Structure 1
Amino acid sequence: MSSLRPLSPEPVSGDEIPIGIPATPSSNRLSLKVVRTLALLQKYSTIPMGFFTVVHLSGVMIAPPIAGIDVAEQVISMGRELYQTGSSETVLFASACVHVLSGIALQFAKKWDNYVKYGRSRRNTSPAISSAKETEIDKSSGLGGITYLLGLGPRPSLSFKMLGLTPLRFSGYFLLPLLILHVLHQRIAPLAVDADSSMVDLSYIAWAVAQSPFMRATGLITLVGVTSYHILAGALQYLRWYSRRARKNAYRIIFFNTTLAALSVFSISRIDPPSGSTARKFAAYMSHFGI
């Protein structure tokens, strides 16, 4: 008893207090299984979309400024034989839906797992890149941005600071309405009006650009740029290529694709816009959904 002495009470840091009830082993295994399944669905659903992207962009982005409009139209026609016949379009549409829905469900599954473990939802942060080996990626910085390319290290992007979204996820959400609008104008509206979209060719794009040069041209170029970023950033993450060289090459490809898209839009805009019944048909396509 003589060794005992009174102590003044001191507050305990909140970080030292366990929050919530830890997940049981069974619930943890189930949550991990769900996350892995959703991640696999999101990953492998990109295969049909990747094939379509290569074929489609060959006709509308690569061929016009390099090989000319006539060759581009031939490439587009051959591409349609691949992805607009039989069950190809159904597979493509299904893979796009699976990719988007599995990605959204994956984020909810991670947040729910975090809630079960800690009793509240916390922002998911990733480890920073190791300056020595660069074997880990700071997902909050995406491809790293200009600061990373200049050797100043990756920093959290504005999308992560303001919205809690990594650049990869933000580019996906940003890309979604652009793609929906593009598909509505290029595929769904012609089917709704004529039950066929065979009239949709580069002259249709030329007509649309002529109606609103700045908006249409900017939209098409932005669509290519964001698509390039999302695909390349996702590919680097899947392949775990986190080196500065890999990221610089990704930025080079994004810049090249965006420049090529601008040249393609310029080449297509030089086509004489159709008139008469064809122009009226194109106007019906473009205004069918009122957007």
Structure 2
Amino acid sequence: MSINRQAKARHHRIPHNFDETGLHVDELQTVPAAPISTDNPDSDSNEQASENGTLEHSTHEEVLAIPKDVPMFTVDPHNPGAVLRHYLLRIQKYSSYTFCGFLALHYSAVMLAPAVTRAIGPNDSATSLLLFGRAIYQASPAIETGLVAGSMVVHVLSGVIIRISRLRRDRRWYKTPLRELFSSSRSKSPTPLPSSSSSSATTFSRISQTGWLLVPFVSLHAYLARYVPLKIEGDSSSIDLRYITYGFSKTPYLSSIGYFAMILFTTHHVTYGLAKWLRISKKNMKYVRSLSGLALVVALLGVHVVSRSSSTGAVLEPWLRAKYDILYEYSIKSIL
């Protein structure tokens, strides 16, 4: 009887908004369920921490706050899936560095030089830079394949395999069909799946979004400017900025929309993607944003000069105009 009275007295002494542990009721939160894993739970948690450290699917603020002394790639050697993603992430990273080498040469010739000189012609600085770049990355088929096409294909394919592997991992962790994983990532209401885990495979960061959106635009540009001339003529020696200008004169609206979208997506994907790989700190993100904005303005100005160089199209030699007509007609027929 005395024990019951003591318990009641102790209960009455506790304020209504506190529990018996002394925690304020308003501070209590619902913790999402932990992943169900049939494998070693420690290896899965280490893998998730490692993949979060790679900054692949997080926002810029979350990503760039990771300290420099934290290893970017850590992996449990006893987890085959984590090992696969570990090496694929490295392949994706260094293939992007390789493609950026080509992109720097191409950007300086077709965007920076026209923006500075405000002129397009067979003997201007833009054409000279373009020919200089070709002398480097078209010196041999192996160099062009590895530096340009190979690095881009490897970068995209590694990203596809990583995402598929993470989807398989999430299905194993949560015992949930893929449809529910995607629906939980799109839903803004509370879900039984932790957001950090569902976002790893079923949501796309802005870097990933712009990367996937770039694939059709870059593929079409490579098809028009490199594959078709190589197939019809055997080389692309006659292709320079006048070829792009002539395309603007034939399809002004489609060309304007296509190049604007490709430049916008490329600028964001490259600048923020490099910031991700280089692990730029949050306080230095203002420099990344400034660099991204500057690169975008210069690129748009250069393409504007190329698209508006109507005088260049007017002085095209008849044989060159006829050659460009053949190339564009073949491209349009093959696409449509």
Give the TM-score taking structure 1 as reference length: 0.75
Deviates more, 1:166-175 or 1:66-75: 66-75
Q: Is contact 2:110-2:302 (8 Å) kept?
A: yes
Correspondence for 2:269 among 210, 225, 230: 230
Aligned to 2:322: 280
TM-superposed deviation, 1:244? 4.8
1:90 aligns with 2:145: yes
Q: Is contact 1:171-1:230 (8 Å) kept?
A: yes
Structure 1 counterpart SS, 2:108: helix
Between the aligned partners of 1:71 and 1:118, the Cα distance in structure 2 is 58
Between the aligned partners of 2:171 and 2:78, the Cα distance in structure 1 is 12
1:192 aligns with 2:248: no
- Distance of aligned partners of 1:258 and 1:277 in 2 relative to their CA distance in 1, 3 Å threshold: same
Give the partner amino acid of 1:188.
Answer: Y
Between the aligned partners of 1:15 and 1:45, the Cα distance in structure 2 is 37
Q: Is contact 2:115-2:305 (8 Å) kept?
A: yes
Between the aligned partners of 2:31 and 2:282, the Cα distance in structure 1 is 38
Per-residue CA shift, 1:161-220, capped at 9, x if unaligned? Answer: xx8322111111100000000000100000111111111011111111111223213322
Q: Write the mapping of 1:59-74 to structure 2, written as runs, cut at 5 A.
A: 59-67=109-117, 68-69=119-120, 70-74=124-128
Q: Is contact 1:60-1:264 (8 Å) kept?
A: yes
How big is the alpha-carbon RMSD for the aligned residues of Structure 1 and Structure 2? 2.8
TM-superposed deviation, 1:20? 5.2
Aligned to 2:157: 101
Structure scoring higher RCO (CA < 8 A, sep ≥ 6) equals 2
Q: Where in structure 1 are there 5+ consecutive unaligned residues?
A: 1-12, 126-137, 140-159
Q: Is contact 1:175-1:223 (8 Å) kept?
A: yes
- Distance of aligned partners of 1:277 and 1:99 in 2 relative to their CA distance in 1, 3 Å threshold: same
Structure 1 counterpart SS, 2:238: coil
TM-superposed deviation, 1:226? 1.0
The alignment of Structure 1 onto Structure 2 pairs a total of residues equal to 243
Aligned to 2:83: 33
TM-superposed deviation, 1:14? 12
Between the aligned partners of 1:88 and 1:14, the Cα distance in structure 2 is 53
Q: Is contact 2:263-2:300 (8 Å) kept?
A: no
Aligned to 1:178: 217
- Distance of aligned partners of 1:19 and 1:229 in 2 relative to their CA distance in 1, 3 Å threshold: closer
Per-residue CA shift, 1:8-41, capped at 9, x if unaligned? Answer: xxxxx9966x775522469961111011011011
Per-residue CA shift, 1:111-160, capped at 9, x if unaligned? Answer: 112222222254698xxxxxxxxxxxx99xxxxxxxxxxxxxxxxxxxx8
Q: Write the mapping of 1:46-195 to structure 2, written as runs, cut at 5 A.
A: 46-67=96-117, 68-69=119-120, 70-86=124-140, 87-92=142-147, 93-120=149-176, 121=178, 122=181, 164-195=203-234
Q: Is contact 2:228-2:331 (8 Å) kept?
A: yes
Deviates more, 1:207-216 or 1:75-84: 207-216
Q: Is contact 1:209-1:217 (8 Å) kept?
A: yes
Give the TM-score taking structure 2 as reference length: 0.65
Give the partner amino acid of 1:249.
Answer: Y
TM-superposed deviation, 1:242? 4.3
Per-residue CA shift, 1:207-253, capped at 9, x if unaligned? Answer: 1111122321332232122111101121122122241541x333322
Correspondence for 1:263 among 301, 308, 327: 301
Structure 1 counterpart SS, 2:231: helix
Q: Is contact 2:77-2:83 (8 Å) kept?
A: no
